[in-house]
Structure 1
């Protein structure tokens, strides 16, 4: 009985602590969304695993898709950011997704390495609800920044935390000159899409933690 009362009391105190920090105003919400974009708003090519390995199937399907991985590598190579590594296959490559047959293998050049941004990120395993920290990098060309917060929903209580749904608009900082190449934009259509969405309304969930409002991944709790 005492342990049950202790748990209830702890829950009440936790809710009171959250309520004391739940400053649901434009300043607090804007700060939270700005922090979210600073952490996860970098615009990159989504090429996070190097070297890039090209399989026979990749080669066969090159002409079917203007944004195929083969075309992407050819464009990046033409820009001097990647180069085909000699020998194609590498027996020392431990990539678990390595194709059975490797036709070509691309690596970053010195110029490409200067654009490569590597940082520690949290990877979530939704089946076991565990996380781990890994180093991940990409070729990045711009950064999303908060333009303005439009509105947010009334806080919703879920167990011992609260969450809200925020509507905001982002702007894009300076775009790297290499990312404006027309051939690159065709091979990487997300570049144009990310720039097009600047100034358009976007949405993000925020969760109230001990540190205040932060991004809330609905699929993890």
Structure 2
């Protein structure tokens, strides 16, 4: 029985379509959320602001996801119970050239799944680590409220993700572990 398990595990280590498809599916199941960059709450919008929040937060209030109250020269928005249902509490790392900021979660509007594995780079081994990158297209499943035209207008990155469903090619870094191929983001060891 142990020998069979070892053979099965070894097959998961081959660089082939089935194993890379499994790695992409696993990644998308865990991290394939389309979120709106609304990380930290409450959110304050200054009076007269032309920032995206000035358009987005009143729309989220209209949808019942946030409540707003006037505070000194601003409006402060907090998540409602309905909004918390769409707030995914998984740490989000936002990297710039100089820093990495970890947020507690994000407000999400859709979920991605694998459409098609387009291909992959030849695996490379360096410092006892074998890596490659996968190229794939995706399908998008919108939360019902995200189908509204005014939502897509207020959140252009969401609209772009919808428009490019099945055609936009995404790249995913993966590496080989004892149990098979794993997305770099899911296993940082």
Which has more radius of gyration?
1
Superposed, 1:149-160 pairs within 5 Å as: 149-160=117-128
What is the aligned-residue RMSD (CA, Å)?
A: 3.2
* Structure with the higher fraction of residues in strand conformation: 2
Query: Within 1, Cα distance between the matches of 2:146 and 2:139?
Result: 17
Give, in angstroms, the shift of residue 21 of structure 1: 6.2
Task: Give the SS at the match of 1:80.
Answer: coil
Of residues 72, 79, 85, the one that matches 1:114 is: 85
Task: Give the SS at the match of 1:85.
Answer: strand
Superposed, 1:176-187 pairs within 5 Å as: 176-187=143-154
Superposed, 1:138-157 pairs within 5 Å as: 138-157=106-125
| Change in CA separation of 1:161 and 1:135 when aligned onto 2, cut-off 3 Å | same
Give, in angstroms, the shift of residue 26 of structure 1: 1.0
Alpha carbons 1:48, 1:137 under 8 Å: kept: yes
Give, in angstroms, the shift of residue 126 of structure 1: 9.1
Superposed, 1:192-211 pairs within 5 Å as: 192-200=159-167, 201-211=169-179
Alpha carbons 1:118, 1:135 under 8 Å: kept: no
Give, in angstroms, the shift of residue 85 of structure 1: 3.0
| Change in CA separation of 1:202 and 1:182 when aligned onto 2, cut-off 3 Å | same
Gaps of 5+ in 1: 1-18, 63-67, 90-101
Alpha carbons 2:93, 2:103 under 8 Å: kept: no
State the partner residue of 1:214: 182
Relative to the length of structure 2, the TM-score reads: 0.79
Relative to the length of structure 1, the TM-score reads: 0.68
Of residues 44, 59, 75, the one that matches 1:104 is: 75
Gaps of 5+ in 2: 1-9
